[in-house]
Amino acid sequence: DTEVTQTPKHLVMGMTNKKSLKCEQHMGHRAMYWYKQKAKKPPELMFVYSYEKLSINESVPSRFSPECPNSSLLNLHLHALQPEDSALYLCASSRQGENSPLHFGNGTRLTVT
Amino acid sequence: DQQVKQNSPSLSVQEGRISILNCDYTNSMFDYFLWYKKYPAEGPTFLISISSIKDKNEDGRFTVFLNKSAKHLSLHIVPSQPGDSAVYFCAASAGTGRRALTFGSGTRLQVQP
């Protein structure tokens, strides 16, 4: 069982839809991350939140909008996506400070039609 | 430019034998290295890590070796078990202010019974 919970597990959306991916952790971690993974590729960093503030945005298009309502929750709001945005979206969390591994959820498999 | 490289896309070993997975990196600023294991339809699971001040870290059947001069690390699994069959990702991070990980492309390990 993963300690990082992501919902939904699967999502199919049209290019004009608005949807949100949700992530929750109760390990007291103050750093949270969104990664994107395409088939047969490694996870690629999208966003990092540190103490509920956005600290890294890896030049992600504005159709992806992250939000961190509190220290346990991380959302990714999706709007006007393209078919090439179809991927596995992974949430992770870690302790702040040095040498702390990231703990990943099982991801949301997103298909944009 | 891939900063973390896993040059072997796949590896097959017999149950009970040693599995050796290799990883090379190019960024001299990397100071923390991790191995993750990933099953299909699940997120990456943290296995073992090593900081740049060490050259070896062991946890049960898993040992990670770091050769900083060669910018190379390896994961040894001994003895290998069929349940170890998965995709293994090497990952690295740099500096205290940024703990986001850069992943290699993964090696698919198959352990034959």
Could you read off the pLDDT of A2-35 as tens digits, one per residue? 599 999 999 999 999 999 999 999 999 999 999 9
Cβ neighbours of residue B85 closer than 8 Å, sequence gap 6 or more: B109, B110, B111
Instruction: Give me the half-sphere count of Cα atoms (radius 13 Å) on the Cβ side of residue A10.
Output: 2
Q: Spell out which residues of chain B touch residue A98, defining contact as CB-CB under 8 Å.
A: 32, 51, 96, 99
Nearest to B52 by CA among B37, B38, B71: B71
- Distance of alpha carbon B57 from alpha carbon A4, whole angstroms: 26
Give the model confidence (pLDDT) of B73-100 as tens digits: 999 999 999 999 999 999 999 876 556 7
- Distance of alpha carbon B57 from alpha carbon B65, whole angstroms: 7
- Mutation target to probe the B interface, by most B beta carbons within 10 A, among A98, A108, A110 is A98
- Mutation target to probe the B interface, by most B beta carbons within 10 A, among A4, A90, A91, A99 is A99
Percent of chain B with pLDDT over 90: 88
- Distance of alpha carbon A63 from alpha carbon A38, whole angstroms: 18
Residue of A nearest to B38 (CA): A106
Residue A45 pLDDT: 93
Residue B100 pLDDT: 79
Give the model confidence (pLDDT) of B3-55 as tens digits: 999 999 999 999 999 999 999 999 999 999 999 999 988 899 999 999 999 99
Residue A56 has pLDDT above 90, yes or no: no
Paired tokens of A94: 């870690």
- Distance of alpha carbon A109 from alpha carbon A94, whole angstroms: 22
Paired tokens of A18: 């608005």
Partner-chain contact B96 A107, CB within 8 Å? no
* B42-61 as b/e: b if 16+ CB within 10 A: ebbbbbbbbebeeeeeeeee
